[in-house]
Amino acid sequence: MDAIEAKLKDMGLALPAKMQLPPGAVLPFSWVRLHRGRGILSGHGPLAEDGRLAEPLGRVGDEVSPEQGYHAARLTGLAMLASLKEALGDLNRVTAWVRVFGMVNTAPDFRYYPAVINGFSDLILALYGPERGNHARSAVGLAGLPWNIPVEIEAEVAID
Segment contacting its own copies (CB under 8 A): 12-20, 47-55, 67-75, 135-143? 135-143
Residue 91, SS3 per DSSP: helix
Q: Does 118 bind its own copies (CB under 8 A)?
A: yes
CB 40 within 8 A of CB 144: no
Short-list 110, 112, 107, CA closest to 59: 107
The binder of its own copies chosen from 17, 65, 66, 115 (CB under 8 A): 115
CA-to-CA separations, 86 to 16, 22, 83, 111, 123, in angstroms, rounded: 12, 21, 5, 34, 19
Check binding of 158 to its own copies (CB under 8 A).
yes
Q: Which of 106, 127, 128, 151 binds its own copies (CB under 8 A)?
A: 106
The contact set with its own copies (CB under 8 A) reads 25-33, 35-38, 40-43, 96, 98-101, 103-104, 106, 108-115, 118, 121-122, 125, 134-148, 152, 154, 156, 158
